[in-house]
Structure 1
Amino acid sequence: MADPEAQIETPTEEEVAEDVEMGGDEADAGAGEGDEATMLADIEQDVPEMTTFLDYLKSPIVELVVGTGDNEAILSAHQGMLVKSPWFAEQCAQFNSGGPRRIELASEDLTAVGSVLEYLYNGEYFPKRVNAAKDSALENDPTVSSPDNEGVALLRHARVYTLASKFSLPQLKSLAHAKIHRTESTARGEIAYARFVYKETSREDNTIRKPVAAFWAMRSHVLRHEAEDEFRSMCLEFPQFGFDVLSLVLDAREKQKEPSSGTPVVHAGRKRARVSQG
């Protein structure tokens, strides 16, 4: 007796289409899971790594040669700290592999450079503010005599201000300027400070120059007698200083003479006496 033939059922077109759709859904689900995993990986890669203080200390040592001759001193600093300054970062980028890591600062003041390094490491420099307030008084500095006729304290902050400008450290520049206005001095000390400002800063730097001129314009009638020779020498050496002070004095007098209505006063020109020829 012959075996019965096996019957193979052929799926209909509807069943085939349904199977294809189901398979597509499963593929899409798998693809979605892969995309989600990729997105999570991307997010994890964007998380920045935290730089610790120890990381700074692990960075290479850079020598700073400050001054020349008998006044030359070599300071050491970690490159990781120095490159907070764009100027130092540019200098460090020029080091040759295996060569000396040295930066020459022949014309800079040693104490001021030390203050800059102190700021890069600690975010402050001596004398520090007594508290975090911007208008806080400063710590006592036993190295400055009292009265400070030489303007030592003012000059210290002024030098830090100019270095902060050179090294592109705007926050340090602002800090030094704030400390200048918290520093007591004498008429002679103020003249020494004014001479440095008008010699070492640009004419366009009104941030530090304008307060100097305003200080002398408001107090020149008193301070001039305490340091008359120094004041005269300053005006002759830096005519711009004398002009700035005089301009502020004249502006103040004009405002005092203006009527309360705000209408400007027009002064008639004085006529010159005619000399009789007869």
Structure 2
Amino acid sequence: MADSFNEETMVKDAPRGAAADVEMAEGEAGAASENPNAELPFAEGGPEDAPAPRTTFLQYLTSPVVTLLVGSGENETILTAHQGLLTRSPFFAEACAEFVDDGSPRQIELPGEDLDAMGCFLEFLYTADYFPRKVPGQRTLEKDPSTPEVDMTGEQLLKHAKVYTLADKFGLTHLKNLASSKIHCVNSTAKGEIAYARYIYQFTPPTDTAIRVPVANFWATRSHTLRAEAEDEFRDLCLQFPQFGYDVLTRVLDDKLKRERNEKMHPGAPGSARKRPRHSSTTQA
């Protein structure tokens, strides 16, 4: 090919000085082969460019064990976890950086955290998931004989919501996304949705639109039917968290404006069916 390398031709046709340079370079290469510690003239990269060694799971398990004190008083529960896994969280990495190697206990107090959410967090650290897992290819979760098919009180929704806020605090984005996706797999009632919405508007910042927008959208598109099942709770929620009521009203007005524009542009066209963000049951206990 056009870029073929012909060393004989290059040395023959080159000026005398250039040929001498080539011979000298070859001599240096020979010296380098005799002395492996010699620095190669055209070496690329170096030890700093080598990829970092992979941390094995065994290394995680042989790291120091950290005691976690979850809750307070009579409700305090002792959990343990390997420091190597805990430090995947920026929150715990900072806390573990305070430990000293003098034989003193490695202990972290978490008085305000939910015990079940902490259990899910630790399960995620060790297995990359937590129960119940999502069924592959479906918008459902694994069956749990201890929980009803329909979340009547919001307990199942709150389980994942608490994991979501815990993951946000501990700085694990993947766990946040996983918990959010499981929320949309729960089949619940209006009262369950109210309990979930109240938690979200109480424990997440207004800037967290990823979790708040679906809540407002859900109530904006379904409140005309679900409000009748939990009208008192719906009113109390709007009064307790005016931002919730404003977000729902904004979505309702935006949808109304969009429909009016579509009707002007396409007179007589049928309206598009609304899709519910997640399953719900209108039955009550």
TM-score tier after normalising by the smaller chain length: 0.7 to 0.9
Given candidates 66, 74, 78, the residue that maps to 1:74 is: 78
SS class of match (1:147) = coil
> How far does residue 205 in structure 1 lie from its aligned partner after superposition?
0.6
Report the Cα distance in structure 2 between the residues aligned to 1:236 and 1:41, rounded to whole angstroms.
Answer: 64
Residue 241 (structure 2) pairs with residue 252 (structure 1): no
Aligned twin of 2:135: 130
Report the Cα distance in structure 1 between the residues aligned to 2:182 and 2:246, rounded to whole angstroms.
Answer: 26
Report the Cα distance in structure 1 between the residues aligned to 2:237 and 2:160, rounded to whole angstroms.
Answer: 20
Report the Cα distance in structure 1 between the residues aligned to 2:26 and 2:202, rounded to whole angstroms.
Answer: 78
> How far does residue 148 in structure 1 lie from its aligned partner after superposition?
1.9
Tell me whether 38-47 or 112-121 shows the greater mean CA deviation: 38-47
Aligned twin of 1:116: 121
Q: Structure 1 residues 252, 37: CA separation in 2 closer, same or farther (over 3 Å shift)? A: same
Paired positions, count: 241
> How far does residue 32 in structure 1 lie from its aligned partner after superposition?
3.9
> How far does residue 166 in structure 1 lie from its aligned partner after superposition?
0.6
Aligned twin of 1:56: 60
Residue 144 (structure 2) pairs with residue 141 (structure 1): yes
Q: Structure 1 residues 29, 219: CA separation in 2 closer, same or farther (over 3 Å shift)? A: closer
Q: Structure 1 residues 38, 61: CA separation in 2 closer, same or farther (over 3 Å shift)? A: farther
SS class of match (1:89) = helix
Report the Cα distance in structure 2 between the residues aligned to 1:219 and 1:92, rounded to whole angstroms.
Answer: 46
Residue 187 (structure 2) pairs with residue 179 (structure 1): no
Q: Deviations over 1:222-272 (max 9, x none)?
A: 00001111111111111111111111111112222234339xxxxxxxxxx
Report the Cα distance in structure 1 between the residues aligned to 2:24 and 2:239, rounded to whole angstroms.
Answer: 91
Aligned twin of 2:107: 102
Aligned twin of 2:205: 202
> How far does residue 28 in structure 1 lie from its aligned partner after superposition?
2.2
SS class of match (1:76) = strand
Aligned twin of 1:93: 97
Report the Cα distance in structure 2 between the residues aligned to 1:51 and 1:162, rounded to whole angstroms.
Answer: 28
Q: How much is the aligned-residue C-alpha RMSD, in angstroms?
A: 2.7
* Larger gyration radius, structure 1 or structure 2: 1
Is the 8 Å Cα contact of residues 151 and 157 (structure 2) preserved in structure 1? no
Is the 8 Å Cα contact of residues 56 and 81 (structure 1) preserved in structure 2? yes
Given candidates 239, 242, 254, the residue that maps to 1:239 is: 242
Letter in 1 for 2:98: Q
SS class of match (1:260) = helix
Letter in 1 for 2:205: S
Letter in 2 for 1:109: D
Q: Deviations over 1:157-187 (max 9, x none)?
A: 0001001111110111111111111111110
Q: Structure 1 residues 218, 60: CA separation in 2 closer, same or farther (over 3 Å shift)? A: same
Over the matched positions of the two proteins, sequence identity in percent amounts to 52
Contiguous gaps of at least 5 residues in structure 1: 1-19, 263-278
Q: Structure 1 residues 234, 29: CA separation in 2 closer, same or farther (over 3 Å shift)? A: closer
Is the 8 Å Cα contact of residues 155 and 192 (structure 2) preserved in structure 1? yes
Letter in 2 for 1:149: M
> How far does residue 25 in structure 1 lie from its aligned partner after superposition?
7.1
SS class of match (1:225) = coil
TM-score where L is the length of structure 2: 0.77
Letter in 2 for 1:103: I
Aligned twin of 2:172: 169
Letter in 2 for 1:123: A
Is the 8 Å Cα contact of residues 144 and 152 (structure 1) preserved in structure 2? no
- Higher relative contact order by CA 8 Å / sep ≥ 6: 1 or 2? 2
